Every structure is written in C-alpha cells, then in structure tokens.
Amino acid sequence: MQYLHNIGTYFLMIIELFRKPTKWSVMKELILKDIDDLIIGSIGIVAFIAFFVGGVVTIQTALNIDNPLIPKELIGFATRQSILLEFAPTFMSIIMAGKVGSFITSSIGTMRVTEQIDALEVMGINSLNYLVFPKLVAMAFYPFVISIAMFLGVIGGLMACIYGGYASADDFITGIQQEFEPFHIVYAFIKTFLFAFVLATIPSYHGYYMKGGALEVGEASTTSFVWTSVAIIIINYLATQLLLS
C-alpha cells in the first residue's frame, strides 16, 4: 500500500509542479543555474566514461572475433550499435542517476531539513515549482550530454581499435557506416528524453518528501538512486519493446 501511496504522491507532485509559476525573471536564473549544475557540470565525467567505455567495447568485440571469415568492419559496427542503442542513453543515465540524482535529492533534502522549503511556502511561493521545475527544464538539455557520450564513445572505440592494432581506421569507419538505421538515433533520443524526465523528477520527489535529519538525507539519496535506476531499466525495456520490435 505504501508503494501505491508513493506513486500517487509522485504524480500529484508532477501536477503541482506546473501550478502557481514563479516569476519569469527569477525562474530564468534558476534554470540557467540548474543547466550549469546538472548539464555543464556533468559533461566532464560523461566524456571521460564514454571515451574509455567506447574503447573497452571495441577491445572486447575485437577479442571475441577470432574467426578469420568475420570481416574486421564488424568491430566498428558492433561498437556503434552498442554505444548508440544502449550504452550512451541507458547506462550513462544510470551513471547520471548517481551523479545528478543524488545531487538533486541531497540539495532539496537539505533544504527540507533546514526549513528552507517551509520558508518558501510561508512566503506564498509554490516550492515545487520553484525547486523542481527549473531542474526539469534544465534536463531538457540532457540529450546534448548523451550526444557527446555517443560521439566520444565511438571516438574512444576508434582510438582503441587503431592503437590496439585490432583493425585499421578504414575498417572501423566502414563498420560504423554499415547498415546505419537513422531511426535508431530517434529511438535513442526518445529514450533519453524519458530518462531526463525521470532523472529530474524521481530524485526531486525523494528529496522534497523526505523526513528527518542529515542521516535521512543520505538515505533518501541512496533510495532515490535505486528507484531512478529501476525506473530507467523498466522504461528502457518498454521503449525498446514499443519502438524497435
């Protein structure tokens, strides 16, 4: 019953987000700050992870192709498919659930504990709109981060392929271009938008409705990471079933 109550509260929170909007001059600054914190601040770690995981995907693929009849272009093809379809949108989002999600939960949770949210409410400000809506708008730029992850993942694969001596650059690039399906990009970005919504709202929910003190802020961050990851995995399954099957 508690789960149903939490899900209901989550959807009521989504509705409340759009009521009594904050003044645009204030909201504009909040959105820019959240873009800086959530999007710009994530680019470094995303670029680093994407580049090296792209390289690892390439090495693993190359090491598992021991049949001389299989063309070397398959390394580039497999790297592209893995990164574009799953690694960049889905697994990067799970990593972001840890980075961005715990940041959102702990920052809103700390505001709850230190009565800052009560201070907003007493002033007659819709605290959900003030705190969560800018994060939702900022996360609309999340596909930009995933584009970088896609690009650098493939570049990382190319580098690993060339410097590891698994195939020539030509073979890898030919593989990348082989049987390219533009809809796969659409599919990846539809998923990314859904994950962005989840990444902004589930951690906000856990921070906003938390009760207790500093210890509970930590617990809320962990719970938020778990539930955001679960939601991403389930949405990933459903989106794949609906869009690709």
Partner 1 sequence: MIEVKNLHKSFGDAHILKGISATFHKGKTNLIIGQSGSGKSVFLKCLLGLYDYEQGRIEYDGEVFSNLSEDKKRDMRAKIGMVFQGSALFDSLTIEENVMFPLRMFTKLKKDEMRDRANIVLKRVNLEDAHNKMPSEASGGMQKRVAIARAIVNNPKYLFCDEPNSGLDPKTAIVIDNLIHEITEENNITTVINTHDMNSVMEIGDNIMFLRNGLKAWEGSKDTIFKTDNEVVTDFVYSSNLFKKVREAILREHS
Considering the complex, state which of residue 119 and residue 238 has its C-beta at the smaller distance from partner 1: 119
Q: How far apart are CA 109 and CA 58, in angstroms?
A: 41
Write the DSSP symbol of residue 23.
P
Which is nearer to partner 1, 122 or 233 (by Cβ)? 122
Least distance (Å) between residue 113 CB and partner 1: 9
In angstroms, give the least distance from the CB of 1 to partner 1.
16
What 3 state SS string does 88-147 have? HHHHHHHHHHHHHHHHHHHHHHHHHHCCHHHHHHHCCCCHHHHHCHHHHHHHHHHHHHHH
Nearer to partner 1, 105 or 229 (CB): 105
How many CA atoms are closer than 13 Å to the CA of 122, on its beta-carbon side?
Answer: 5
The CB-of-99 to partner 1 minimum distance in angstroms stands at 19
CB of 218 to partner 1, least distance (A): 17
Of the pair 25, 67, the CB lying nearest partner 1 is at 25
DSSP 179: T
Its sign, for the CA torsion 70, 72, 75, 80, is negative
- Judged by CB, which is closer to partner 1: 6, or 114? 114
User: Taking each helix axis from N to C terminus, what angle separates 102-113 and 214-244, rounded to the nearest 10 degrees?
Assistant: 140
Tell me the C-alpha distance between 219 and 35, whole Å: 26
CB of 119 to partner 1, least distance (A): 4
Residues lying near partner 1 in the complex (CB under 8 A) are found at: 20, 22-23, 25-26, 33, 110-111, 114-116, 118-119, 121-125
d(CA 109, CA 214): 9
Nearer to partner 1 by Cβ, of 60 and 116: the residue is 116
Cβ of residue 135: shortest distance to partner 1, in angstroms? 14
Q: How far apart are CA 205 and CA 174, in angstroms?
A: 46
CA distance 51 to 160: 10
Looking at the Cβ atoms of 117 and 220, the one nearer to partner 1 is 117
Q: How far is the CB of 40 from partner 1 (least distance, A)?
A: 16
